[in-house]
């Protein structure tokens, strides 16, 4: 045991000696390094020389002639940032937009049939039923001549009675909803006042970005917006409160973003009741009170220039003077 302990002590002393030698060597290196740093701090020329040496070493390691040192990027004009529409962030699903006569709006999931039984508040009833998608935008046209934009994705759900559109837009209480339709880029709208003035408005210029809406139809005092329909066809059919019908070429109707419009039909008494676009070759169709579709294919009797009085509507035309 004494011999074993002596051997262990000898090895431990050897290890301590080696550790002491390493510590002394490290101390000497640190002292030498400190002396070099102190000399460097005291001599500006030596400092700039050290900087030059480091720059040369960096150039050699990463310069143009070094392996992988060539520029990998280039300078150019920044391209236009790609704009991502808000619709791209919304999941596309079918919805049915319901708007009541008093202006309460909601969106039901899926496309429901027009004859589906729906609930409304007491004293209220149906007005608009529109099949759309969650990525669509709606154009609401008020009797004040302003167009408002609603996103289908932001409409309240089908549970309950919905919310008043006047909470979503600045539609005045005294203004009525003339039309509610899905925005179709590139389309045109036929807008007209009850005084008989109107024009074609590009849909893209009607879309509003704020809840205040956008003025489209300029109105004289005492007049209101009467018609807002998506236009299709080559002729315009106009009917007045006096039940006189006029059909004229759509080329006579200007296309503008905002205006009072031009005179569509001349009235001695009353004003404009309804207007729409038609294809002359297909004639004019309407729905009678019994729900049947009637048509008049020969419109030569009512074909004339814009701003003329027109002639009495054909037999069987709706008593409310609306095309339906």
On the question of pLDDT at 289 being above 80, the answer is no
Domain ranges of the chain: 89-183, 188-324
Confidence of residue 294 (pLDDT cuts 50, 70, 90): confident
Confidence of residue 278 (pLDDT cuts 50, 70, 90): very high
Q: Which pLDDT tens digit goes with each residue over 221-245?
A: 999 999 999 999 999 999 999 999 9
What CA–CA distance (Å, rounded) separates 322 from 307?
19
Neighbours of 57 (CB within 10 A): 10
Contacts of 76 (CB under 8 A, 6+ apart): none
Q: Given this model, what pLDDT does residue 180 score?
A: 96
Is the pTM above the cut of 0.85?
A: no
Q: Given this model, what pLDDT does residue 309 score?
A: 94
Q: What is the mean pLDDT of residues 249-270?
A: 94
Confidence of residue 1 (pLDDT cuts 50, 70, 90): low
What is the separation of C-alpha 64 from the centre of its chain, rounded to a whole number of angstroms? Answer: 50
Q: Where are the strands (E) in the chain, listed by range?
A: 94-100, 104-109, 126-133, 137-142, 146-151, 163-164, 177-182, 188-193, 197-202, 214-215, 225-230, 235-240, 244-249, 262-263, 272-278, 284-287, 293-296, 311-312
8 A C-beta contact, residue 147 and residue 183: no
Of how many residues is the chain composed? 324
- 19 or 274: whose pLDDT is higher? 274
Q: Given this model, what pLDDT does residue 17 score?
A: 74
Confidence of residue 265 (pLDDT cuts 50, 70, 90): very high
8 A C-beta contact, residue 130 and residue 138: yes
Fold of 188-324: Neuraminidase (2.120.10)
Arithmetic mean of pLDDT over the chain:
90
On the question of pLDDT at 11 being above 70, the answer is no
- 71 or 43: whose pLDDT is higher? 43
**Which residues on adjacent β-strands are paired with residue 189?**
201, 230
8 A C-beta contact, residue 155 and residue 171: no
Q: Given this model, what pLDDT does residue 6 score?
A: 67
108: closest CA among 93, 95, 121?
A: 95
What CA–CA distance (Å, rounded) separates 314 from 318?
10
The most confident of the ranges 2-6, 62-66, 308-312 is 308-312
Q: Which pLDDT tens digit goes with each residue over 16-51?
A: 777 788 888 888 899 998 988 888 888 888 899 989
Of the chain, the percentage scoring pLDDT greater than 90 comes to 63
Confidence of residue 279 (pLDDT cuts 50, 70, 90): very high
Contacts 24+ apart (CB under 8 A), 296-305: 299/235, 299/237, 299/247, 302/237, 302/245, 302/246, 302/247, 303/235, 303/247, 303/248, 304/246, 304/247, 304/248, 305/248, 305/252
Q: What is the mean pLDDT of residues 63-84?
A: 78
Q: Which pLDDT tens digit goes with each residue over 179-190?
A: 999 999 999 999
On the question of pLDDT at 84 being above 80, the answer is no
**Which letter does DSSP use for residue 53 in this model?**
H
């Amino acid at each position: 045991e004494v011999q074993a302990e002596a051997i262990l002590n000898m090895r431990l002393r050897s290890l301590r000696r080696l550790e002491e030698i390493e510590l002394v060597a490290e101390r000497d290196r640190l002292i030498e390094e400190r002396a070099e740093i102190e000399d460097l701090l005291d001599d500006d020329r030596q400092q700039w020389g050290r900087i030059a040496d480091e720059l040369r070493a960096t150039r050699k390691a990463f310069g143009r002639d070094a392996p992988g040192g060539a520029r990998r990027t280039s300078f150019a004009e920044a391209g236009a940032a790609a704009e991502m529409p808000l619709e791209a962030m919304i999941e596309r699903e079918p919805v049915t937009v319901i708007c009541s006569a008093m202006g309460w709006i909601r969106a039901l999931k899926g496309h429901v049939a027009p004859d589906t039984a729906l609930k409304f508040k007491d004293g209220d009833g149906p007005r608009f039923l529109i099949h759309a998608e969650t990525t669509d935008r709606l154009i609401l046209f008020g009797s004040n001549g302003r167009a408002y934009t609603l996103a289908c994705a932001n409409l309240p759900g089908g549970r309950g009675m919905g919310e008043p559109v006047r909470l979503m837009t600045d539609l005045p209480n005294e203004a009525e909803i003339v039309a509610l339709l899905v925005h179709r880029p590139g389309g045109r709208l036929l807008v007209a006042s009850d005084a008989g003035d109107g024009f074609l408005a590009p849909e893209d210029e009607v879309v509003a970005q704020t809840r205040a809406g956008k003025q489209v139809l300029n109105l004289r005092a005492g007049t209101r917006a009467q018609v807002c329909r998506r236009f299709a066809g080559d002729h315009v059919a106009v009917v007045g409160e006096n039940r006189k019908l006029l059909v004229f070429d759509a080329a006579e109707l200007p296309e503008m973003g905002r205006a009072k419009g031009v005179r569509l039909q001349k009235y001695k008494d009353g004003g404009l009741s309804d207007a729409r676009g038609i294809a002359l070759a297909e004639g004019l169709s309407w729905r009678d009170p019994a729900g049947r579709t009637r048509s008049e294919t020969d419109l030569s009797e009512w074909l004339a220039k814009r701003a003329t009085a027109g002639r009495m509507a054909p037999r069987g035309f709706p008593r409310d003077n609306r095309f339906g």
